[in-house]
Amino acid sequence: MGEISWPTMFYDAYVFDMDGTIYLGDELLPGAKRMLEELRRRGCTVRFLSNNPTKNPAQYVEKLEKMGIPAPIEDIANTVVTTVRWLLENHPNATVFPIAEEPLVQALQEVGIRISDDPRQIDIVIASYDRTFDYRKLQIAFDAIWFEKRAFLIATNPDRFCPFPGGRGEPDCAAIVASIEACTGVKCQAVMGKPNPTMLTAALGSERPKNVLMVGDRLTTDISMAVATGIDSAMPLTGESTLEDVRAISERERPTYVLDRIDRLIPQEVWMQLGWDED
């Protein structure tokens, strides 16, 4: 769809992006709480999925609960989870250098993945959304990849920025990847976050329900993952992507639904029965 549209049915399962979809910064988006309550009341499976590696699932539980949205930890997955899982499955004996904040570093330590800032020992440089990124970290990555010629680069997520209230944002993982690629001349070899389909498996497990709706504000991550995995998608106009962005891409790449607010996920007929308004 290239215009605003409402779903006319309920799905068995809903996978929600969080930043820019359920909330912006520390502000719950209008209608999000009542929408989630109605889906759960009807027995729909609700899962939360984020490309943001600056929090672990337990921290997301805490953040959602502060906003009045209770969520068990098993209902939440993010790139901390998928990055650690990928390393354990593919390079369990590697020594890594995480350009990352504490949640990812701690998760790596907890499963016994070796961490070093010595370029002569580093096998994998992990770029992530890191608000402590500095020239020292860039130099270590450069030395491990370019000078020592032993390490390769992976990333937790492809996001250019994290949306904030008021239309602002903060540089995200893609900015750090770009700086490493620019100075070393190498390309990032793997990206763990959406649109990588493994994120959907992280949220729902390998045997996912038949009718699943992916809900997220970014065409390049949330909606692209839905398209790649053959599931329906809904994009609220509350985060990064705009209606003009939707119109600029092919029909095949577009979300199934475009929402002016997140609680439009509830079919219009039910919305009217519930007596909801936009206040």
pLDDT tens for 175-211 read 999 999 999 999 999 999 999 998 998 899 877 788 9
Percentage of the chain lying above the pLDDT 70 cut: 99
Q: Is 19 a catalytic residue?
A: yes
- 194 labelled as ligand-binding? yes
H or E element, residue 190 = strand 190-191
Average pLDDT over residues 35-42: 97
- 211 labelled as ligand-binding? no
Going by their DSSP bridges, the two strands 95-99 and 76-78 should be labelled as: unpaired
pLDDT tens for 225-243 read 999 999 999 999 998 899 9
User: Which of the following is catalytic: 17, 75, 159, 172?
Assistant: 17
User: Which of the following is catalytic: 19, 75, 143, 172?
Assistant: 19
Cβ neighbours of 126 (radius 10 Å): 27
Q: What is the mean pLDDT of the chain?
A: 94
- 5 labelled as ligand-binding? no
- 51 labelled as ligand-binding? yes
Instruction: Give all strands of the β-sheet with 45-50 in edge-to-edge order.
Output: 76-78, 45-50, 13-17, 212-215, 232-236, 257-259
> Is residue 80's pLDDT more than 70?
yes
User: Is residue 127 packed enough to be buried (19+ CB in 10 Å), middle (13-18) or exposed (0-12)?
Assistant: buried
Domain annotation for the chain: domains and CATH numbers: 13-51+194-274 (3.40.50.1000), 80-191 (3.40.50.1000)
Please tell me the pTM assigned to this model: 0.88
- 52 labelled as ligand-binding? yes
